[in-house]
């Protein structure tokens, strides 16, 4: 018997933008090897497998796979899956559907608030399941620049320096001088392992304060070749780490700071990630990620 699957675009209000996601329903009978094979077949940055929850009151248990490995948590799979389950399972009340979707992930329980309105893309947001560790400054700027096809003078802006943030996933954050440098970034395989892979880095998040869109605070690109993702159009989990980086370098005042992050523009898949950073008594106390979700396709897997 076949399994239903859906293709969603996440962090966009229009189809064929944002980050595409595959969600496979009723996947309890699939083995880990089968889930990995299906994720490799879809060949998207992530594929989600929805299973029955293990705890009462939770909506579903999910497993998240890149084309080459399972990951304990990821942002756009969390957001996209929650929006889909709200659309499929939640009742309509006065023409509207608002829901709290509780997902069991390998990292733990993640609660996503979803807003559905007729004629509009779904919108969801969730609090980071845990806050990232302190940002560690990365040295060897020449080495990092070479791995990204840049020269050393194109790495860094203002007081921002390359940093490593260790969380559920390990991301390197490399500031680029401007949009011109961002357009040049590429994976230089001969330098990549020494600069990033050998340090346990899952993905490299390159960012600059110069933006294409007037409402954006940062322009970003994400490269994760070791996870089978040459470039990612929108990366919610890496945006959580960016909050730590921004707090580290920009000395944010107490309160909640709401920012828009643009990504995927160089790929022709423009994305917009809402990032809310809460600071209390000088400490980072909360990070919230939000964005829109559009359903673009559905079908059956013959497995």
Are the CB atoms for 180 and 145 separated by under 8 Å?
no
DSSP code of residue 243: H
Catalytic residue among 13, 34, 41, 46: 46
Residues 287, 49: Cα–Cα separation, whole Å: 26
- Which CA distances in Å does 189 have to 205, 259, 268, 283? 16, 33, 23, 38
Residue count of the chain: 303
Are the CB atoms for 112 and 101 separated by under 8 Å?
yes
96 as an active site residue: the answer is: no
CB atoms < 10 A from the CB of 120, how many? 11
Collapsed DSSP state (helix, strand, coil) of residue 206: strand
Output the six-digit token pair for 8.
Answer: 């969603």
Are the CB atoms for 233 and 267 separated by under 8 Å?
yes
Active site residues: 46
């Amino acid at each position: 018997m076949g399994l239903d699957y859906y293709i969603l675009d996440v962090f966009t209000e229009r189809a064929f933008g944002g980050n595409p996601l595959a969600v496979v329903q009723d996947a309890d009978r699939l083995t880990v090897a089968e889930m990995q094979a299906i994720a490799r077949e879809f060949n998207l940055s992530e594929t989600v497998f929805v299973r029955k929850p293990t705890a009462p009151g939770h909506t579903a248990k999910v497993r998240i796979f890149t084309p080459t490995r399972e990951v304990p948590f990821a942002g756009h799979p969390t957001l996209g899956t929650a929006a889909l389950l709200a659309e499929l399972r939640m009742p309509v009340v006065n023409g509207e559907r608002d829901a709290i979707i509780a997902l069991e992930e390998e990292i733990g329980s993640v609660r996503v608030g979803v807003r559905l309105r007729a004629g509009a893309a779904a919108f969801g947001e969730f609090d980071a399941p845990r806050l990232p560790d302190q940002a560690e400054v990365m040295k060897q700027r020449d080495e990092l620049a070479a791995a990204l096809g840049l020269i050393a003078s194109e790495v860094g802006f203002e007081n921002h320096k390359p940093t490593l943030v260790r969380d559920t996933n390990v991301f390197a954050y490399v500031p680029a001088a401007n949009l011109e440098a961002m357009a040049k970034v590429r994976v230089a395989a001969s330098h990549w392992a020494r600069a990033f892979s050998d340090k346990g880095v899952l993905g490299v998040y390159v960012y600059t304060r110069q933006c294409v869109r007037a409402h954006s605070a940062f322009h970003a690109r994400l490269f994760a070749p070791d996870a089978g993702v040459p470039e990612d159009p929108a990366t919610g989990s890496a945006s959580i780490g960016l909050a730590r980086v921004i707090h580290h370098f920009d000395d944010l005042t107490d309160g909640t700071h709401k920012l828009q992050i643009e990504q995927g523009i160089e790929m022709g898949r423009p994305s917009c990630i809402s990032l809310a950073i809460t600071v209390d008594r000088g400490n980072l106390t909360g990070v919230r990620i939000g964005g829109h979700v559009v359903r673009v396709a559905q079908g059956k897997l013959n497995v």
